[in-house]
Amino acid sequence: MCETKLPAVPASARRKFLRGSGALAAAVTGLTSGAAVPAFATQPPKPHNVVTPDDAIARLMQGNARYVAGLMRRHDFASERETLSEGQNPYAALLSCADSRVAPEFAFDSVRGDLFTTRVAGNIASEEVTGSLEYAVSVLKVPLILVLGHDKCGAIDAALGAYAKGTMYPGSIQSLVQRIKPSVKKIDRTGPDPLDAAIAQNVLDNVSALRETSAILRESETKGTLKIVGGMYRLASGKVELIG
């Protein structure tokens, strides 16, 4: 986790550096030059978060089961602040929809430092989102990416309307809809629940997009250090179903 090809730097200096605003830029520079950049100075802030991709999936689903059952653990946020000020090593990364009803940290009964979460309407793997997830995998050593859609998604419903009726939306909403329309085109809109089908297809397409557009993520999956999976969050129950 902490190996690096860069010249040795005193631990105190590295800690100060990682606190600074230039940490992300330096990390990305290290990635493009082929050098590994440590996410923390000495050891992982959360050693129990160093897990395999399969273990990460199991941990997410166990947390979701507690959430669905209303048996969430009591979390002491105050005690972990100092540890997390030195760095982070989340055990999973999420690409989730920007919806107030879907809160990944709650849905998986997790605390700060456990999940690296990116959110955008329609859970679209944009260039900026993909870059953020590349950082999580290459620098923070996250072993799992979950693309998480949810039922009754307004962004997907808007794309259905745009495709079927030619509906146009104001401002930048239209650009989001355009990104989702290819998924809508693939489904059978005469089926019993075209919206649900479109949501699932959009999740699967964005899982594929992360693999196809990112050599960093693709190579990590090939090495077995990363898995990219899809999921659907059910608003009524809170249950997450893995798909794909």
Cα-flanking dihedrals φ and ψ of residue 230, to 5°?
-115, 155
Residues 6 or more apart from 51 whose CB is under 8 A from it? 59, 91, 143
Provide the residue ranges of all domains of the chain, joining segments of one domain with +.
Answer: 48-78+88-243
Q: What is the pLDDT of residues 118-157, one digit of tens each?
A: 999 999 999 999 999 999 999 999 999 999 999 999 999 9
State what percent of residues in the chain have pLDDT above 90. 74
Q: What is the pLDDT of residues 62-110, one digit of tens each?
A: 999 999 999 988 877 787 888 888 899 999 999 999 999 999 999 999 9
The predicted model scores a pTM of 0.83
Q: Does 99 count as an annotated binding residue?
A: yes
| Average pLDDT, integer, range 206-234 | 98
Q: Greater confidence, 79 or 56?
A: 56
Interatomic CA distance for residues 158 and 162, integer angstroms: 6
Interatomic CA distance for residues 121 and 99, integer angstroms: 7
Q: Does domain 48-78+88-243 have CATH number 3.40.718.10?
A: no
pLDDT at 41: 55
- pLDDT exceeds 80 at position 9: no
Q: Does 150 count as an annotated binding residue?
A: yes
| Average pLDDT, integer, range 26-44 | 53
- pLDDT exceeds 60 at position 7: no
Q: Does 153 count as an annotated binding residue?
A: yes
- pLDDT exceeds 50 at position 234: yes
The answer to whether 210 touches 228, Cβ cutoff 8 Å, is yes
Q: Does 2 count as an annotated binding residue?
A: no
